Amino acid sequence: SDLQKQEERGELLQPLTFVLLVLCSVLLYFKVSLMDPGFVKSEEEVKAGNIEEQSMVIPQVPSNIKMRRCGYCMVKQPMRAKHCQLCQHCVRRYDHHCPWIENCVGEKNHPLFIAYLSVQLVVLLWGGHVAWSGLYFEQSWDWLQHNIFLLMSFLLIVIFTIVVLLLLISHLYLISCNTTTWEFMSHHRISYLRHSELENPFDQGVILNLWRFFC
């Protein structure tokens, strides 16, 4: 492959960069998997009226919608929080439970989740290029026997690249609208959205939505 040829020539910049990107993606994976996604804690009930999420709700959200108590963990749910059956916790600004990381994606780890997807996409694209550069096609059984592993690796990389790309695009779109996967999929079942005069009462424009999310 191209990286192997560069390493043999003593040109280590790109091989080291590739290794560092892979290491970065692994570290981001464990960070997003193991960190608190924004669990709602019982001691926060007293401060529930002053939490940041409430201050972000704009006037179009009906004032008669009160914070409800979760029937599972018995804490008062802030606006945009949802109970996750798999994590057994209510999560602030709940987006979804990701089986990929075995953790919820919520208020605290959502930006890092986007960073992880972005780095992973770069690694997959680069890895696909490396795998393709090592393939020299010949119509023979011996060639297939010697290259079957590399060929299967390339096909798997292509599949994962498509999945990660679609996931990243969908999340960036939802972020630009200041909505979550859960709100987007269950709009008709969420009281503060169903009773709102606006389709999305949290949308403050693409630039401000992105700024609030990432900064």
Could you tell me the pTM of the whole model?
A: 0.81
pLDDT in the model for residue 67: 65
pLDDT in the model for residue 95: 94
Q: Please give the average per-residue pLDDT across 87-94, as a whole number.
A: 91
pLDDT above 80: residue 186:
yes
What sections of the chain are H helices per DSSP? Answer: 2-8, 13-34, 52-56, 110-133, 141-176, 181-185, 191-194, 206-214
Residue 120's pLDDT band, with cuts at 50, 70 and 90, is very high
Return the active site residues. 98
In this structure, how many other beta carbons lie within 10 angstroms of the beta carbon of residue 122?
15
Q: What is the pLDDT of residues 133-166, one digit of tens each?
A: 777 766 666 766 777 888 888 899 999 999 999 9
pLDDT above 80: residue 181:
yes
Domain assignments of the chain as residue spans, ordered by start: 1-34+108-177, 38-53+63-104
Q: Which residues contact 144 (CB under 8 A, 6 or more apart)?
A: 151
CA dihedral 10, 15, 20, 26 (to 10 degrees): -140
Residue 2's pLDDT band, with cuts at 50, 70 and 90, is confident
Tokens 């290794």, located at residue: 19
Which segment of 53-62, 78-87, 97-106, 151-160 scores lowest on mean pLDDT?
53-62
pLDDT in the model for residue 53: 47
The vertex-64 CA angle with 63 and 67, nearest 5°, equals 95
Q: What is the pLDDT of residues 60-74, one digit of tens each?
A: 445 555 567 887 888
Helix pair angle (110-133, 13-34), 10° resolution: 150
